[in-house]
Structure 1
Amino acid sequence: MAVYGIDLGTTYSCIASIDDVGRPTVLRNLEGTDTTPSVVYFESGDNVVVGATAKDTAVLAPDQVVSLIKRDMGREVTREIHGFDYTPEELSAFILLKLATDARTTTGEEARDVVVTVPAYFGAAERDATRKAGRIAGLNVIDIVSEPIAAAITYGVLNPEQDRTILVYDLGGGTFDTTIIALRGGHIEVVCTDGDHELGGADWDSRLVEYLAERFRAEHPEAGDPLDDKQTEQQLRRDAEDAKKSLTTRTTHTVRVMHDGRAAAIEVTREKLEELTKDLLDRTIEITGRTLSTAAEKGVDDYDDLVLVGGSTKMPVVASRLETELGLSPRLQDPDLAVAKGAALYAFEETYRRLLAAGEQDQAEEMAGRAGLSEEQQRQIAGRQIKTVASHAFGIVVVDRETSAEHVAHLVHANDELPAAKTEDFFTVYDDQTSADIRVMEQAGSVESGELIDNTEIATGAVRIPKGKKAGWPIEVTFSLDSSGLLHVTAVEKETGERLELKVDVGGMSEEEVERSRTALSRVKVS
């Protein structure tokens, strides 16, 4: 059976599979490129275009084009286009469908069983939304895997005999993660992770856009602000991205800005770009330092490699600054494609192990045979373990009996090893209380905090209390966070056995809405 790995990126996405000699290979799209812009153009209500053409059309029809949708995953927001409201899950589903359709055309096989990657710092809501996007696209999402883990799998498979401790610095188009991973005996263990899913190459582009607009206004003050015109703004964004990419190999690049019949040729130097974006790079360094401190608390303070992943790490200043700060020589690890390749390896290995566990030996051997794997490689895959950690803390709202003040008591903490399970007794606050509210909270900020404002409510329910009970009656609460970062919560009143099973349907689409969207999307032509 064919399985695939998908890097669903903020600015670019790609899909990979395992070839007939066991190597992960990125499948080119119908336009002939390895990566597909994560941009969706609605030509009409029933015709959607994804990729390079959509990106080009953004200049001409900005109101009909959606980009950077990954930053909205897990949020209850919609985009109105042609009179229809589209959720982030639905918009992401169009991108996934484009990748799967092109892969089927390339290989001749149905691309249905997939592993999709997400930033390590994505929480429960974003991971849940990503899984639902896959289902809306008609895909069977085998698992959701963190991007640095996928990159580490690629690294580990390429260096199978080496035990290494690596720091993965992943700066993509829209998200940033830094993760410390130990490779031991072929096994992969995440020590800790941190990040910011609203920090990436798109922010470098935005700084350049602002600079270009400012320079144009200074040269043509009578022409008005080019950012007030949507078409001009979209063109500036294209030009800014091109300039940023050019400045990875050149020291100067000239952008021609046109607006309101005026034109300005604006020279941008690499030095100027670095000056405009220094605080953005500073933020990545700060987060990396925080990650190193967390690892040190876990007894890890010596590193063999600093691996750079994500297209934005091609900027020369990234490597030079990290080498200065950390004293490690950075290695570019196939920055654009490593995540998709690792996801494909993970999809293959996970499916192979599941077939063996289910007693489907013949199917597992056929799968291994198609990939040209030796008996030794099969043995390694069957025994490989991947251990990861929680990206956020999770807890419930509790009330101080004396002051009635509310705060969050966390049961699972950021960087706890997964799967994680914690059971704790909580107690009623008042005499004759008839029910206890269970409000499940997820850490919202970069640091764990008991303040409600620093957490996001992701599920709620109530457990009935038997009549006549005094304050202090116990309720047993269990949090179980699986290796994909998906949370399951139960609360039990022990005398009656009253049990609350909280399905953490975190802020996005309901199951019914997912099925309706899947049906509706099947009628839309996606190319």
Structure 2
Amino acid sequence: MASFGIHLGADYSCVARIGETGQPEIIKNVFGEHTTPSVVYFEDPTNVVVGREAKACAARHPDLVVSRAQRQMGRSVEILAHGRRHSPESISALILGELAQDAADASGEEVSDVVITVPAYFGVSAREATRKAGAIAGLNVLAIVDEPVAAALHYDAGGTRTLLVYHLGGDGFAAAVVRVSPEEIRVVSMDGEYGLGGADWDEMLVADLVERFQAGHPGSRAADDEEFRRELAAGAEDIRKQLGGVESCRFTARFAGDVSEIEVTRADFEDRTYHLLARTLTITERTFRAAMERGVPGFDEVVLAGDAVRMPGVASGLESLFGVPLRMHEPELAVAKGAARYALIESIDGATVEGVARLHNDPGKRITTVVPRAVGIKIIERVEVHDAASRARSKSSRVSFPIVHLLRAGTPLPARTEALRFLTAYPDQAEILVEIWEQASSIESDRPEDNEHIVDCVIGGLPPLPLGSPVEVTFEMETGGLLRARAVELVTGADLHVELQFQG
């Protein structure tokens, strides 16, 4: 049975497989298109529409259309449509099911075994939610793979090289330094920012179009009209893509009988959005510095992936920053094609050996990556506070609840932490609550609001323990992504073991 790679994107998704030539090929959808909008329209309680037609309904039925569900993956979010509750996982499952059905119809093969891509900045919960979405769709998820890793596989032309991957999608950005060789694909460093993608450039364009429309029609209430702004948003996406190949383009904006022909130039667009590009370049530099700290002195080329990398300014910004060759080959399809190669590596069996032999890649190639987000536990910390203004020099304590990260983001896998010792917080404590949290933003922080809660675990049935009884906690993460946590209460020897599968 064949295996397939699925790029489940925030804006667009697509499916690929290894073709008869031994090279990855995109399977077109029912409309003969390479990509399918990641949009779901609940037409009525019994009929769901996915893809291009759903996207076309967004302006008319915004309350029944769901887009960018990927942004909510792993979070407790309810989406209501016709009185029925849906989750980001169930929405993504509808998209995956549509992709699988279209691919099966086009290829004549059952689509069951799949590799699904996720943004590099996805943490434990979001990755597990993606796996769950695949299961809901009736798919056998062989692995979850980071988009930059899939992109590196797409650009792997044999030999040994170091690639700097710049991936800019519709709803997120990631950079990675990846070492490719005949034996392995090894991620040296990886970083990214959730919510920094082509959609942000579109929002800047929308603001510009609104401002210029209002200037031509003083007193118009267009700026406050949601339908007008949605129409501009659809137009902004087209403008962004056009400006990758032309110096200027025109857009017709209409509202309440008023019409404006607005010209948008590439130069103005680049100026207005340069701060967004600069953020991606800062993250890219940070990723490269992390690789240098791990012994990688440089890279051979920069490779581009994602449906937003053709935007004006991206290539020139990277060339100015690094001064090395850029490669941009089918960037919108690179992740899906790389996922197809990953799927082939994952599904080696008698039925696929012939296909593997036709690839220039070693079918036994190892793929190793890094911890995507720092993972740790919440602790209780008491700090004594001295009141210098008081004559009695009174003393009190302040209680805080910081997150102590045991596994740091970017740590090469497999990884195991040293046992970290903590103390019970209260006299006569009879149970110990271990809260596992992960870093939520691209910058590590010990504040709970900058982290996301994954799971609670309890060591119970203990005899009353004195204040300050020792507890040791260790984390371990395998190359395949299995996270193990162990906490041991050292007085009684009572412990707990937790396993969380987040990837691979």
**Structure 1 residue 61 and structure 2 residue 43: aligned?**
no
- Structure 1, 430-439 or 192-201: larger mean CA deviation: 430-439
Q: Matches of 1:377 and 1:171 in 2, distance apart?
A: 27
Q: How many residues align?
A: 487
Aligned to 1:170: 167
Aligned-residue offset at 1:334: 2.0
- Structure 1, 395-404 or 70-79: larger mean CA deviation: 395-404
Question: Residues 155 and 23 of structure 1: is their aligned pair in 2 closer, same or farther, counting only changes over 3 Å?
Answer: same
The answer as to whether partners of 2:482 and 2:499 remain within 8 angstroms in 1 is no
Aligned to 1:381: 363
Amino acid at match of 2:183: G
Amino acid at match of 2:215: A
The answer as to whether partners of 2:470 and 2:491 remain within 8 angstroms in 1 is no
The answer as to whether partners of 2:483 and 2:501 remain within 8 angstroms in 1 is no
**Structure 1 residue 420 and structure 2 residue 415: aligned?**
yes
Q: Matches of 1:372 and 1:9 in 2, distance apart?
A: 27
Question: Identity of aligned pairs, percent?
Answer: 44
Q: Matches of 2:21 and 2:235 in 1, distance apart?
A: 41
Aligned-residue offset at 1:472: 3.6
The secondary structure found in structure 2 opposite 1:287 is helix
Aligned-residue offset at 1:89: 0.9
The answer as to whether partners of 1:292 and 1:301 remain within 8 angstroms in 2 is no
Question: Which of 211, 230, 235 lines up with 1:234 in the alignment?
Answer: 230
Amino acid at match of 2:435: R
Question: Which of 275, 299, 308 lines up with 2:271 in the alignment?
Answer: 275
**Structure 1 residue 338 and structure 2 residue 319: aligned?**
no
Q: Deviations over 1:121-170 (max 9, x none)?
A: 111121111111111111111111000001111222xx11x211110000
The secondary structure found in structure 2 opposite 1:470 is coil
Amino acid at match of 1:73: M
Q: Matches of 1:106 and 1:366 in 2, distance apart?
A: 20
Aligned-residue offset at 1:62: 2.2
Question: Which of 394, 399, 405 lines up with 2:375 in the alignment?
Answer: 394
Q: Matches of 1:351 and 1:266 in 2, distance apart?
A: 52
Q: Matches of 2:257 and 2:267 in 1, distance apart?
A: 30
The secondary structure found in structure 2 opposite 1:222 is coil
**Structure 1 residue 408 and structure 2 residue 389: aligned?**
no
Q: Matches of 1:215 and 1:118 in 2, distance apart?
A: 37
The answer as to whether partners of 1:18 and 1:344 remain within 8 angstroms in 2 is yes
Aligned-residue offset at 1:33: 0.7
TM-score by length of 2: 0.92
**Structure 1 residue 212 and structure 2 residue 196: aligned?**
no
The secondary structure found in structure 1 opposite 2:59 is coil
Unaligned runs of 5+ in 1: 353-363, 507-527
The secondary structure found in structure 2 opposite 1:492 is strand
Q: Matches of 2:14 and 2:422 in 1, distance apart?
A: 46
Q: Deviations over 1:19-67 (max 9, x none)?
A: 1232111100010011111111111121111111111222322222111
Aligned ranges 1:178-257 → 2 under 5 Å:
178-230=175-227, 232-257=228-253
Question: Residues 35 and 368 of structure 1: is their aligned pair in 2 closer, same or farther, counting only changes over 3 Å?
Answer: same
Question: Which of 238, 252, 255 lines up with 1:259 in the alignment?
Answer: 255
Q: Matches of 1:484 and 1:239 in 2, distance apart?
A: 42
Aligned to 1:524: none
The answer as to whether partners of 2:469 and 2:491 remain within 8 angstroms in 1 is no
Aligned-residue offset at 1:505: 9.4
Amino acid at match of 1:411: L
**Structure 1 residue 329 and structure 2 residue 325: aligned?**
yes
**Structure 1 residue 444 and structure 2 residue 426: aligned?**
no
Aligned-residue offset at 1:323: 0.6
Question: Which of 330, 352, 373 lines up with 1:367 in the alignment?
Answer: 352
Structure 1 consecutive aligned stretches of length 4 or more whose deviation exceeds 4 Å: 401-404, 494-497, 503-506
**Structure 1 residue 318 and structure 2 residue 314: aligned?**
yes
Q: Matches of 1:148 and 1:302 in 2, distance apart?
A: 18
Q: Matches of 2:382 and 2:253 in 1, distance apart?
A: 63
CA-based RMSD of the aligned residues comes to: 2.1
The answer as to whether partners of 1:41 and 1:48 remain within 8 angstroms in 2 is yes
The answer as to whether partners of 1:178 and 1:287 remain within 8 angstroms in 2 is yes
Aligned to 2:390: none
TM-score by length of 1: 0.88
Amino acid at match of 2:152: A
Question: Residues 216 and 401 of structure 1: is their aligned pair in 2 closer, same or farther, counting only changes over 3 Å?
Answer: closer
Aligned ranges 1:97-108 → 2 under 5 Å:
97-108=97-108
The secondary structure found in structure 2 opposite 1:417 is coil
Question: Residues 484 and 60 of structure 1: is their aligned pair in 2 closer, same or farther, counting only changes over 3 Å?
Answer: farther
Question: Residues 170 and 432 of structure 1: is their aligned pair in 2 closer, same or farther, counting only changes over 3 Å?
Answer: same
Aligned-residue offset at 1:377: 5.8
Amino acid at match of 1:71: R
Q: Matches of 2:461 and 2:471 in 1, distance apart?
A: 9
Q: Matches of 1:485 and 1:366 in 2, distance apart?
A: 27
Which of structures 1 and 2 has the larger relative contact order (alpha carbons within 8 angstroms, sep 6+)? Answer: 1
Aligned-residue offset at 1:181: 0.5
Identify the structure with the greater helix proportion: 1
The secondary structure found in structure 2 opposite 1:144 is strand
Amino acid at match of 1:341: K
Question: Residues 281 and 261 of structure 1: is their aligned pair in 2 closer, same or farther, counting only changes over 3 Å?
Answer: same
Aligned-residue offset at 1:229: 3.2
The answer as to whether partners of 1:4 and 1:15 remain within 8 angstroms in 2 is yes
Q: Matches of 1:89 and 1:46 in 2, distance apart?
A: 19
Question: Residues 466 and 85 of structure 1: is their aligned pair in 2 closer, same or farther, counting only changes over 3 Å?
Answer: closer
Q: Matches of 1:134 and 1:350 in 2, distance apart?
A: 16
